[in-house]
Amino acid sequence: MSALFAGLREERGSALVAAGVIAAACVLLGAAVVEVGQWLSHRRHVQVRADAAALSGGQMLAECFNLISNGGSLSESTVDADVENAAKDYGGITSNKNVQTSDQGAGEQSLMTFQGNKYPDQSGVTRDLQNECYKTDGTPNLMLDVKMAETGIPRFFSFSPLETVHGWARVELQQIQSLIPTLPFAIPDVRVRVAVTFVNNATGAALPNCPNGCVFQLTGPTQSNGLNVFGTNATIPQAAWPAANSLVGMRVGLGNNPGSCAAGVNPTTYTCFDDTSNNGLVALRSYATTAGTQANPVLQKVTPTTCSGTPFFSDFQTTTGSCSYGVTATVDWGNAGPPANANVRARVNGTNLTLARSGNTNIWISTNAVTLNTQQGPYPVTMSWCVGTCNNNNSFTDFNGGNPVQQIFSGSDSPILAASVLDANTADSSYSFLAGQAANLAVSVGLSNGVHLPTRCQNGTSGGSYSCASDPPVLLRNPIANAGNDSLTLAIDCGHSTLRDDIKFGCTQPFSINVPDICPDPANPNPPDCAPTRNGASVGQLTQGMNYRFTVNNDSTTCDPNNYPNYQPGELDPRAVTLIITDWNAFDSSGKTLIPVVTFATFYVTGWSGAPNSCTSGAGHPNEPSPPLPQQGGNAFVWGHYIADVNLGAIPNGTACLGPGQQPGVTPCAIALTR
């Protein structure tokens, strides 16, 4: 018995057993470590994909500010689909973007849900976070929530629970705190509202018996011939339209909420043009159809014509600072017509214009070529007639007692570069309307430069061949931003010593939003909210900088590809740039000044003056042809397309953006990854 117990106490071979147990445990532990490590790797990959999906979809939240309910063109469902499709693309659901090789094993499946209360592999998923733009109660949401699941991860042990990983990301639109612009250009914001007031052109008083003080709000802008055009149809009732031989002036108000521009109003929150006289920018003649006689002819329609095609012209339509003009008039001499030796003339700015009869009609057209200078304001037009030899003023008889019968306006001391008023019923462009009747007017006002909300065309054209009436290029740098004075050119000083280096290497100075819209800002914030202008056309520097910045390998020879209109917000593309948006009238002054930073916007550069030949000619050239350029300005323009005001590179301030109803159109928002 003692021998038996002695055998049981024998320790030889126990180390081998212990080693076997430890080895098995190490193998199991190693397998568990690998299993957990694989799970953690998949979880990290899925989180990266969820982040990429949220940030990409967040770029499309800019469309929330173009909803039909706010005067735009998109529905909530369309925007939601665009946002979620972009997220699926960059999250690797509908593409291979951001998908790792290790995420593509047999049996693995990637799932994604939006605005949901649970992960997509769980039951009972609902959109409890509601739509991306608006909640059901009508308040703004402006948020995208992305939840991902990857199932079917290979396991070492069939009983392992580590078969599924989850990723969760959320982005919100927040107000921008600061941003470093890409290029040294500041774009005037044409989201200014435009109104017109019809006044007595002699006194400046609003027409009596006209609703709302004869003030009409214009809509827009739309792009036309390089201008941002606002327009409306306005009806002046019969009781308000003045007696024959009167002139009605159209004055223009610009501002956030423009009202009357009649004499004596003296607005402080908007600007009126022309506020330096009683005149309007356009004059409309009231005339009667009373029959005349050879001894007493009656002047009816009077239509000034200028180089713009209307009685209003500006530096936008002329290269020399002056504009040719003429006068066409209708004179009734009775059934017998004018005497054979009848003469009609007009007088403008001290110069007489001889008018010749057109065939056997009552229409008389000026024959001598004369010019007027720009930026001079109103030029009254008077007219007279005589019969026989008319060699001096005493031989002529004045129409309307020598008082003005029409007006030409020489503009460009404001952002208004075009103005017209046609008969809304017939499109008649005589700028003359019958007395004793209501006048139905088609009003149009064209402003320079600025941002617009385009509707891109997917019509098969792209790059240098892109052609889309609803999405023309806009000027991003204009050497005649200030009415022919190239002192202010939409360029700013943003960190380097020259314009060339600001373009070549990009801005280095961050800027913040100028909330009070005052420069200089007494609060003196850091980063600054006022940008210093950089003066002068600097044609050579602009060309050198652009040819360096937007060519392959900065070789100034081969332009970077032009992916417009297929570019989407958030994609990495050297032609996608962030620029400052400033007040619509920030460049009205001359000399070096400070301009307020209203917000920021992303634009896509499609062309510039002085680009290499390979960029502008030949099949498949990348640069888009320029929009209609001002007649002055030389070879120093940059053009492109507005993309969005939601900027991935912006620093958010933690405060939610206001809703689309409070910030129509473009909004100063940044994408913030909040989860």
Structure tokens at 283: 């004059």
Q: What are the E-state strand segments in 57-179?
A: 109-114, 143-151, 165-179
The answer to whether 342 and 387 have CB atoms below 8 angstroms apart is yes
Q: Nearest 5 degrees, angle CA 177-CA 644-CA 661?
A: 75
The answer to whether 247 and 202 have CB atoms below 8 angstroms apart is yes
Q: What is the 8-class DSSP label of residue 435?
A: T
Task: Tell me the C-alpha distance between 126 and 448, whole Å.
Answer: 49
Average pLDDT across each block of 10 residues of the chain; the chain has 675 residues. List them in order.
Answer: 57 66 66 65 84 86 72 78 90 80 67 87 77 82 88 67 82 81 86 88 91 92 80 93 92 86 84 80 92 93 92 84 91 92 92 92 90 89 90 81 93 80 90 92 83 69 83 78 54 93 93 85 92 87 92 85 80 86 76 85 89 82 82 73 66 59 47 82
The answer to whether 280 and 250 have CB atoms below 8 angstroms apart is yes
Number of helices (H) and strands (E) in the chain: give both, helices first: 6, 34
End-to-end Cα separation, the chain, in angstroms: 74
Q: How much is the pLDDT for 575?
A: 92
Structure tokens at 674: 């909040």
Structure tokens at 282: 């356009």
The answer to whether 124 and 13 have CB atoms below 8 angstroms apart is no
Task: Tell me the C-alpha distance between 231 and 433, whole Å.
Answer: 19
Structure tokens at 142: 């402006």
Task: Tell me the C-alpha distance between 91 and 99, whole Å.
Answer: 8
Q: What is the 8-class DSSP label of residue 556?
A: S
Task: Tell me the C-alpha distance between 377 and 370, whole Å.
Answer: 17
Residue closest to 585 by CA, chosen among 153, 275, 170, 146:
275
Q: How much is the pLDDT for 627?
A: 81
Buried b (16+ CB within 10 A) or exposed e, 207-244: beebeebbbbbbebbbbbebbbbbbbebebeeebbbeb
Q: What is the 8-class DSSP label of residue 564?
A: T
Q: How much is the pLDDT for 70?
A: 60
Containing H/E element for 505? Answer: helix 499-505
The answer to whether 511 and 568 have CB atoms below 8 angstroms apart is no
Dmax of the chain from CA atoms?
162
Instruction: Render 6-70 in DSSP notation, one character per residue.
Output: HHHT--TTHHHHHHHHHHHHHHHHHHHHHHHHHHHHHHHHHHHHHHHHHHHHHHGGGGGGGBGGG
Task: Tell me the C-alpha distance between 189 and 474, whole Å.
Answer: 12
The answer to whether 86 and 57 have CB atoms below 8 angstroms apart is yes
For residue 567, give Cα distances in angstroms to 65, 76, 197, 672: 19, 22, 42, 22
Task: Tell me the C-alpha distance between 476 and 187, whole Å.
Answer: 6
pTM above 0.75, yes or no: no
Task: Tell me the C-alpha distance between 55 and 49, whole Å.
Answer: 10
CB neighbour list of residue 530: distance below 8 Å, 6 or more residues apart: 514, 519, 520, 521, 594, 595, 596, 597
Residue closest to 656 by CA, chosen among 671, 641, 645, 643:
671
Q: How much is the pLDDT for 631?
A: 54
Residue closest to 282 by CA, chosen among 384, 429, 383:
429
Task: Tell me the C-alpha distance between 280 and 404, whole Å.
Answer: 13
Structure tokens at 8: 């049981």
Sort strands 576-582 and 599-608 into parallel, antiparallel or unpaired.
antiparallel
Q: How much is the pLDDT for 450?
A: 58
CB neighbour list of residue 230: distance below 8 Å, 6 or more residues apart: 194, 218, 219, 220, 221, 444, 445, 446, 447
The answer to whether 54 and 88 have CB atoms below 8 angstroms apart is no
Q: Is 563 exposed, middle or buried (0-12, 13-18, 19+ CB in 10 A)?
A: middle
Q: What are the E-state strand segments in 226-358?
A: 227-236, 246-255, 270-273, 282-287, 298-306, 312-313, 322-332, 342-348, 351-357
CB neighbour list of residue 95: distance below 8 Å, 6 or more residues apart: 88, 89
C-alpha 484: how far from chain center: 22
Task: Tell me the C-alpha distance between 326 and 311, whole Å.
Answer: 9
475: how many CB neighbours lie within 10 A of its CB? Answer: 26
Residue closest to 617 by CA, chosen among 559, 567, 540:
559
Containing H/E element for 502? Answer: helix 499-505
Give the SS3 label for residue 89. helix
CB neighbour list of residue 630: distance below 8 Å, 6 or more residues apart: 226, 315, 316, 478, 480
583: how many CB neighbours lie within 10 A of its CB? Answer: 18
Q: How much is the pLDDT for 69?
A: 67
